[in-house]
Chains A and B, each alone.
Chain A
Amino acid sequence: MSLPEEAGLRTRGRWPPPEGPRAAIVGSRRPSPYGEAVAEQLGAHLARAGVIVISGLALGIDAAAHRGALLGGGVTVAVMGTGVDIVYPAAHSRLAEEILAAGGALVSQFPDGTTPRRHNFPARNWTMAALADVVVVVEAAQGSGALITADAALELHKEVMAVPGSVFSPLSVGTHGLIRDGAALVQNARDVLAALGATQEVLDDPLSAPKSLGIAPLPGRDGIVSHLSDVLALSAAEIARKLQLPVAEVLGRLTALELDGAVRRHHDGYVRALHKDKKPA
């Protein structure tokens, strides 16, 4: 299956990807812990169900979606706004390597050596929509690039879906707008799988548990983890106050848990990680 749009792509890794439905997960570069958790879980569950997860290798939702797909043991494709030889942001070099190692691909419509240029990213978003069967938007503020991907998907007659968020959050403005305009509401991976017309075997997956997207959080060897939330970032001081422990000690233990992948840092706070990195990096 080769779309006409794929003709001019530069690629690294396995291309075209294995047969299978393709879902693009896109959203804010500065998501809330909630959005990041959703993107990561969607990525994991969809990948586990055999969906090829497409995203843009950007900070935030994009990276969480790729990471989730890798955790789910699946194939993920990064559609880049730079040449395939230039990973942007550079901090994602390791992520890019992992995508390749897991049988995924980096693709770009731009020639090798293209550096990040503001005007290249909207075009990249179109490519992403073209390569995907559905586009799922997770947290997008007004004017977010993810909305360009959604517009492109509509023009290309692809399904657009959106994950709702808090009505207090500016990061929900874009996604709620999409839902208001008729985008399908995503509450869990099953909703996406249904839109993709996936089969019964997929629904047998443990993720069909209707309660939430969630996999049980890792039982950390440190009791601190049980005091953390998976969507609301708590600061070390807040945790120390709760546990009546010196903050220096709590900070150290949190760092140790971060090293093990059991908690994740979000600005100045900590959230429970929902998956442990299989490879201790």
Chain B
Amino acid sequence: MLGAVDSCTLAGFEVRRVEVQADIGHGDTKFVLVGLAATSVKEARERVRSAIKNSGLEFPGQRLTVNLAPAELRKEGSALDLPIAIAIALARAGKKPPPHTAFLGELALDGAVRHVDGILVAARGLRMLGFERIFVPAADAAEASLVEGLVVTPCASLKGVIDHLLGIETIEPYVSSGAQAIGDSGSWEHDLAEVHGQEEGRRALEIAAAGGHHLLLSGPPGAGKTMLAHCLAGILPPLELDEALEVAQVRSLLGELPGRGALDWTRPFRAPHHGVSMAGLIGGGSGIAQPGEISRSHHGVLFLDELAEFQSPVLQALRQPLETGRITITRSAGSVSYPARFTLVAATNPCPCGWAGDPVRSCRCTPGGIDAYHRRLSGPLMDRIDLKVGVRRVKLETLASEPTGEGSAAVRERVVAARRSQLDRQGCLNAQLKPARLRKLAGLEPASRRTLERWAEQRGLTARGFHRAWRVARTSADLDGAEHIGERHILEALGYRLQDVAA
């Protein structure tokens, strides 16, 4: 007697279909599980045996072979418990499952169906593979229902699912309460209206938000770098549907999605401590690599405070994601790729003591010490940061008065408009424009071109530096609603640099 149902296994964001076959045949009482199962899957034998017995069903007293096909694909996780149990039950009953249907879920020994991580990722992947119905743990039904065009059957217990399949008692499909927006209430913990002075920092934030440019803030302790960085979240537009789903997928893999049928439209804001490990920032762990902070900040903001204190190899590893918006990590169990298109905001002191360049307090660092400090920041990482801005301490009398700058909501409106014109023109943000597309799409007025070239020659600008200024100028023009890049845009863009930190 043979039973077979479909399920899947995850390798990062990649969803691979797995067919679970159960065969009950003659021979000694034995439960054999084959098909390249990782340890977590092999344990399914014990859980499935107990779950079936404790659901009031009879476990076959014969030779039982379960095969996970395709056999060359490594299977991870406990989500195959439920499909294995169902395949066994269907084999006993001599029934076939409904077509285009997949099962996912972990079993408790009493037969209850428990939560598994990554349901949203699995559901999206299965939908793309052509599945129309999915049986998931009741706790994860809301998460699965975020995927359109998929009928979600919530499973509370193994017995319930089997009764449903045998036509004894029907489980109603999960009906989403409708995807409401959560998170984006338009009010933020940090609002630009509370920032005193810092005109240059504010402007740089607006450009960073509008064009997706990475930003470095340099200034003495207490100048307000952290406050400015946190304000970035409030001037970014809410996530688009696809973006929100991708963000939710990362959280799904980490088992962090709230059990609600609503997407979070808030852009992620992550601020890992400078002691973060390579695996913590980039992603990693044993077996299949888990997403790291850079993937958790996908479509959002990654804030690295005290940039010079991060381990150098960790910072170097940011190069690939900064360039491509993805990270590929290879571990013993295979290589996975996660999205990581974030806006980097880094903050640093201008020197080890923090006071270099301050008009009032004097710096106690030796020139050699400052050089060494800047060497840690220089090179390839700085090359990929379009905006570099000095942040100065605000005078006490200014702090005592009411701040006079615009609030986040007003800035956000301009950001939204500028982003829309970029997406209409080129389908991506300016920061992601490669030089060839930049030349084609972001035309320079003759005067602008002359200015940029004159600067490049005078200062020995590298090609990267040349394109950085060009991209930033494009965003400045977009914020102006200007079709072409004017000279003033170029001149402004050239101002976002720091003399002493590698330019």
Asked if A30 meets B491 with Cβ closer than 8 Å, knowing A247-B200, A269-B357, the reply is no
Contact of A237 among B200, B356, B455 (CB under 8 A): B200
- List A contacts of B495 (CB < 8 A): 236, 251-252, 254-255
Contact of B198 among A29, A237, A251 (CB under 8 A): A237
Contact B392 A237 (CB under 8 A): yes
Any B CB within 8 A of the CB of A194: no
Q: Is residue B488 contacting chain A, with contact meaning CB distance below 8 A? A: yes
Task: Tell whether B499 is near chain A: CB-to-CB under 8 Å.
Answer: yes
Of B363, B455, B492, B500, most A-chain CB atoms within 10 Å: B492
Closest A-chain residue to B469, C-beta based?
A255
A93 — which chain B residues lie within 8 A by C-beta? 460
What residues of chain A lie closer than 8 Å to B234, measured between beta carbons?
none
The winner among A93, A142, A251 for most chain B CB atoms within 10 A is A251
- Tell yes or no: A253 within 8 A of B by CB: yes
B361 shortest CB reach to chain A, Å: 8
- Which interface class (under 10, 10 to 19, 20 to 34, 35 or more) fits A? 35 or more
Known: A248-B476, A267-B500. A241 touches B389 (CB 8 A): no
Docked CA distance A94–B454 (Å): 15
- List of A residues within 8 angstroms of B356 by Cβ: 30, 267
Contacting residues of chain A (13-33) with chain B, CB-CB under 8 angstroms = 28-30
B362 touches A168 (CB 8 A): yes
Q: Is the CB of B458 within 8 A of A240?
A: no
From A141, A233, A246, A253, B367 is in contact (CB under 8 Å) with: A141
Task: Assess the A241–B363 pair: CB atoms within 8 A.
Answer: no
Closest to A118 in B: B368
Residue B201, interface by CB 8 Å: yes
In the complex, which of the residues B219, B367, B389, B454 contacts A30, with contact meaning CB atoms closer than 8 Å?
A: B367
A81 to chain B, nearest CB (A): 15
Give CA–CA (A168, B203) in the complex, Å: 33
Query: What B residues does A249 contact at CB under 8 A?
Result: 488, 492
Q: Which residues of A contact B460 (CB under 8 A)?
A: 91, 93-94
**Chain B residues with CB under 8 A of A170:** 362-364
Contact among A240, A253, A254, A281 for B199, CB-based, below 8 A: A240
A-B CB contact pairs (8 Å), 21 listed: A141-B367, A233-B357, A235-B200, A235-B390, A237-B200, A237-B392, A247-B199, A247-B200, A249-B492, A251-B492, A251-B496, A252-B488, A252-B492, A254-B495, A255-B494, A259-B454, A267-B357, A268-B357, A268-B499, A269-B357, A269-B359
Interface residues of A (CB under 8 A from B): 28-30, 60, 91, 93-94, 141-144, 166, 168-170, 232-233, 235-238, 240-241, 246-249, 251-256, 259, 265-269, 280-281
Binding site for A on B (CB under 8 A): 197-203, 218-219, 350, 356-357, 359, 362-364, 366-367, 370-371, 389-392, 451, 454-455, 457-458, 460, 476, 488-489, 491-492, 494-496, 498-500
7 extra A-B contacts, CB within 8 A, seeds A247-B200, A251-B492: A30-B370, A141-B367, A251-B491, A259-B454, A266-B499, A268-B499, A281-B458
